[in-house]
Amino acid sequence: MPDWRPRDTARARKLRNEATPAERRLWSYLGNSRLNGHKFSRQMPLGPYVCDFLCRRSKLVVELDGESHAATAVHDARRDQFMLEQGYTVLRFSNADVMENVEGVVAMIGASLADAPTPSPSRKREGS
């Protein structure tokens, strides 16, 4: 039987309420399916981690990084590896990238979504 753990929704909710200026700025472009109809969630649990932005349908994770150091880089590599093993693509941008060139960041996210495989449509059920 698989190891089941409840999602850390309380932590995710807290992170949503304490969003950085860069996260708020990028969310204004990704929220409400604004990016070509792709639905993103912010501060969404995925396994033991919380993703800054997650598009489940396209299996894309977008992470924003502040100033980092060696310990953070090791943690980020471990986290990225977990997400890759789950079939997700991870894009990382710095907070400075978002604040100075949000249109370029959004264009890169859009290009990644365009390259993502399209999920198979669900089968029609009998009687529908």
Over the stretch 56-96, which tens digit does the pLDDT of each residue have? 999 999 999 987 656 788 888 999 999 999 999 999 999 99
pLDDT value, residue 120: 53
| Dihedral, CA of residue 55, residue 103, residue 114 and residue 44, to nearest 10 | -10
Spatial separation of the C-alpha atoms in residues 60 and 111, rounded to whole Å: 12
Is this structure's pTM higher than 0.95? no
The mean of the pLDDT values for the chain is 84
CATH number attached to the domain at 21-115: 3.40.960.10
